Structure 1
Amino acid sequence: MKRKGRKKDHKNTKKQEKENHYADIDPENQNFLLDSSVGKKKYETQYHPGTTSFGMSVFNLSNAIVGSGILGLSYAMANTGIALFVILLLFVSIVSLYSVHLLLKTANEGGSLLYEQLGMKAFGMAGKLAASGSITMQNIGAMSSYLFIVKYELPLVIKTFMNIEETTGEWYLNGDYLVLLVSVILILPLSLLKNLGYLGYTSGFSLLCMVFFLIVVIWKMFQIPCPMDSDVMNMTLINATLAPLLNENISSDDMCKPKYFIFNSQTVYAVPILTFSFVCHPAILPIYEELKGRSRKRMMNVSYVSFFAMFLMYLLAALFGYLTFYGNVEPELLHTYSAYLGADVLLLIVRLAVLMAVTLTVPVVIFPIRSSITQLLWAGKEFRWWRHCSITVALLTFTNVLVIFVPTIRDIFGFIGASAAAMLIFILPSAFYIKLVKKEPMKSVQKIGAAFFFLSGIIVMTGCMTLIILDWTQNVASDGH
């Protein structure tokens, strides 16, 4: 009896200690943190404050935001103009921050730090499938964009090292073969590891590579003259054929004047490219869980700093890339430099750094997709190597098929940005908020705002998808494929 009494007293003491930990936390967060431990193992249910500092959380969130999308931003600006691009960039960054606010508030009310679990609580299995499917699509899009960079850049690196000027059909200069080789020799063995281990640090290396890329883009803008040699030749041909008919000369200076508003068939890709570039929402809740002095206000401050830093980085990369090549920007900016700089040492270093970063990041991206598929189909089952290997091989095979048969990286940015990214930024956070936040009536300003946000997401997704599909069907040869 005494032993039982001691155990009971020990439990009460632990309970009081746990409640004292929550004393300084607002009631909303307190309820959430207490409820969030339900269903976890015993050692996980003990309240532990986050250990990650504010600065490191900003760094982690910036890592989650920045990615291959930065390579497509100059192309977006070239097809919208500077002023329209800045408006769209500001719009997407603001709505992304608003969706982070909705997501954090929903997590507090719903009592879960897992995106898929919030979907389950809100709409049952349909909500879980929607969240899991969107995250999987977004990650497959990210993997595809990384492998596209390998497909574009590795042949150029090999040509530079081997001092080859003209390609004569060698297999080792074919991007499709190189993607398959890199996938089998490097990516597959790393992806088959049971734990992430050191691969988790590659996101930091990726961010440093993108910062280095931005510095080179700014530097090269002052080195590459406008108009370029090929532009002069094109303008000479146009003048020779059209000038007699129009009784006027077309000046090459017009090609070097920035445009502020542009509308053409490729303008529709701007919003999906931007939404693709700002998706970080699956990482928000894990970063929030690890934040020291955890509160919703503190996490929103982390988001403000991260999003502002990425806004500046994206704007500078897009602007200086556009002011270097104007209307000649390709969907992948790094590839555009090869036509004008050839074997440039600094550009070669950037290429190698970006290639290393994306090759090491692909296995990191595979881990959450594989985990999500395992949870959906084999929840609660013991780990099996055959299952682990089968899912990995299937994911890599599917992604390689996409990269080989989809003509340009623009199509990946466009399709994933219009579908999965729109779901993760607009539709799911607002739908979960409306369903799970019970203390606010449907007629409240917050719920009406969330409903409007949800409808905006539907309009953005359906509108962009429709226009992209129309562009695919009507402008098949617009990109040279």
Structure 2
Amino acid sequence: MEKDNSTMELEKMGEMDEDQMLNGSNSESFDVEKMRLEDGYDAEGSTIAEQQEFLPHAASKKTQFTDFEGKTSFGMSIFNLSNAIMGSGILGLAFAMSNTGIVLFVILLICIALLSAYSIHLLLKSAGVVGIRAYEQLGQRAFGPAGKIVAGIIISMHNVGAMSSYLYIVKYELPLVIQAFLGQTTSTGEWYTNGNILIVVVSVAIILPLALMKHLGYLGYTSGFSLTCMVFFLISVMYKKFHIPCPLNETIYNEHQVYYNGYNSTYEKEESEDVCMIKIFTVNSQTAYTVPILAFAFVCHPEVLPIYTELRSATKKRMQNVGNISILAMFIMYLLTAIFGYLTFYGNVEAEMLHTYSKVDPLDKLILCVRVAVLVAVTLTVPVVLFPIRRAIQQMLFPGRDFHWLRHIAIAICLLFIVNLLVISVPNIRDIFGAMGATTAPSLIFILPGIFYIRIVPNEKEPLRSRSKIQAACFMVLGFIFMVMSLCFIITDWVLTGKSRSGGH
């Protein structure tokens, strides 16, 4: 028996050393890992099968779920994470700047970007301590099964909201693109100009096949192409700044015909000077949507750990560099898009910026190409966002199960069905940005990473009064403040908007 016990101890030591090596946690001591086993983590946290699911080098070497020996290159990982960050949120940034002013917007954008990078640091540090690379499993390690369920639900809600916002753009923009190709400025009622039908077609023909990929790393090529489309979008926005006059309702002559934007001419004459003035710092009723829009635009945290799992030669430092480069690249794209979009339309910019261009010339060839590029970009982003939801569902409903194609396909189909239903029902993309950005985004960026760090990192290594844990606690509190303030402002705006509409009737 003594011999057997010693053999088991050696095996445990070997497994723990492998966990440390896989996560780049050379600084974590054997005592920390031994504490993790002694406090019953394997029994009440994740099972051995669940650990093998995310750390396939463990004893049985069974291939499960979507994780495997990291084979995705550093560059492809940056493409995937950047694509997860960038999405429909970029179309609302000029609207956000118009309601904050340039200075306040830049300050908020810098703060959210830095906080997002710090949040990734907390996630990677927590994952390194316990040898787990799954958001839901970190929730279980911190709070047991309840934490796992809460984390899974928040991830699912946020990513469903993100997918909905992407498909909402498809619903609204694709009919306009088809009309432009046909030389029409208004819909004639055919089925191929019906946005609700088109999102179903796109979901079945393009998104579903990509969503059925077994590994997230395979989407690196489509993510790279998606980012290229958004770079083209940015260049076009910068170019159009110098070719669209303000105010918008001035007559625009071009090779097609004369267009007017439909604004009341009396209002235009009185307010045109104010509308075309640059606002440095401002606050109004729509400012409440700024922080949620910015937070929504930087959320990539559900994808961080899956990308970390599939990263070649994965270490915390290497993955942190992936996160930092991705956030910096998106920060530059966001800032340039917001500035040039705002300086093009000033106070006339709408929550979905592409719609504002249609007021100038719905048949403009460059804008038509931009619409196609954005449609391609957001369509190719949906499968990347779907992967973490499927993982969360697998972890909540089928923990420790071997990979099964039928379950893999069924979850993808059900998710796309739900998202299509939401897109058909939701009237305004701003509502999606606001609601998701005010609730799930602060949870994923601020609250959960802070709580995980405090709960998971042992007090013996970092006491509760240590600077790192105090910073994590402040980070978590900041998330709660953002959530409460944003929700209060948004609900107030909804109530006032509802009253004004009812008063108008």
Matching residue of 1:28: 28
Equivalent of 1:368 in 373, 388, 391? 388
Deviations 1:327-383 (A, max 9, x none): 111111122211112212222222222223333433443343233223322334566
Matching residue of 1:237: 266
Equivalent of 2:489 in 467, 472, 479? 467
Distance 1:63 1:220 in 2: 24
1:32/1:117 Cα in 2 relative to 1: closer, same or farther (>3 Å)?
A: farther
Q: Which moved more, 1:354-363 or 1:407-416?
A: 354-363
Distance 2:388 2:20 in 1: 35
1:472/1:33 Cα in 2 relative to 1: closer, same or farther (>3 Å)?
A: same
1:286/1:459 Cα in 2 relative to 1: closer, same or farther (>3 Å)?
A: same
Matching residue of 1:341: 361
Distance 2:407 2:26 in 1: 44
Equivalent of 2:58 in 42, 45, 56? 45
Q: 1:4-403, aligned counterparts within 5 Å?
A: 26-28=26-28, 39-40=51-52, 44-45=57-58, 54-188=74-208, 191=211, 199=219, 201-229=221-249, 234=263, 236-238=265-267, 250=270, 252-291=272-311, 294-381=314-401, 390-403=410-423
Unaligned ranges ≥5, structure 2? 1-6, 37-45, 62-67, 251-259
CA contact (8 A) 1:32 1:112 kept: no
1:99/1:367 Cα in 2 relative to 1: closer, same or farther (>3 Å)?
A: closer
SS in 2 for 1:164: coil
Matching residue of 1:444: 466
Matching residue of 1:4: none
Distance 2:156 2:327 in 1: 23
SS in 1 for 2:140: helix
Distance 1:62 1:286 in 2: 14
Deviations 1:241-275 (A, max 9, x none): xxxxxxxxx46333221101221221111111111
1:386/1:477 Cα in 2 relative to 1: closer, same or farther (>3 Å)?
A: farther
CA contact (8 A) 2:20 2:128 kept: no
Matching residue of 1:247: none
Distance 2:401 2:268 in 1: 70
Distance 2:19 2:207 in 1: 47
Equivalent residue letter for 1:469? I
Question: Identity of aligned pairs, percent?
Answer: 55
1:58/1:32 Cα in 2 relative to 1: closer, same or farther (>3 Å)?
A: farther
SS in 2 for 1:475: helix
CA contact (8 A) 2:80 2:219 kept: no
Distance 1:463 1:178 in 2: 37
Distance 2:19 2:371 in 1: 53
SS in 1 for 2:244: coil
Deviations 1:135-181 (A, max 9, x none): 11121112101111111111111111111123344443332333234
1:190/1:58 Cα in 2 relative to 1: closer, same or farther (>3 Å)?
A: closer
Equivalent residue letter for 1:44? H
Q: Which moved more, 1:199-208 or 1:461-470?
A: 199-208
Distance 2:381 2:499 in 1: 32
Distance 2:70 2:204 in 1: 39
Distance 2:20 2:470 in 1: 37
Q: Which moved more, 1:267-276 or 1:42-51?
A: 42-51
CA contact (8 A) 1:120 1:127 kept: yes
Q: Which moved more, 1:340-349 or 1:371-380?
A: 371-380
Deviation at 1:200, TM superposition (A): 5.2
CA contact (8 A) 2:18 2:58 kept: no
1:236/1:344 Cα in 2 relative to 1: closer, same or farther (>3 Å)?
A: closer
Distance 2:108 2:120 in 1: 18
Deviations 1:279-304 (A, max 9, x none): 11122233444555644344333333
Quick check: 1:458 aligned with 2:487?
no
SS in 1 for 2:162: helix
Distance 2:117 2:217 in 1: 31
CA contact (8 A) 2:116 2:445 kept: yes
CA contact (8 A) 1:32 1:111 kept: no
RMSD: 3.8
SS in 2 for 1:73: helix
Equivalent of 2:438 in 413, 418, 430? 418
SS in 1 for 2:278: coil
Deviation at 1:232, TM superposition (A): 9.4
SS in 2 for 1:273: helix
Unaligned ranges ≥5, structure 1? 1-6, 241-249
Q: Which moved more, 1:174-183 or 1:77-86?
A: 174-183
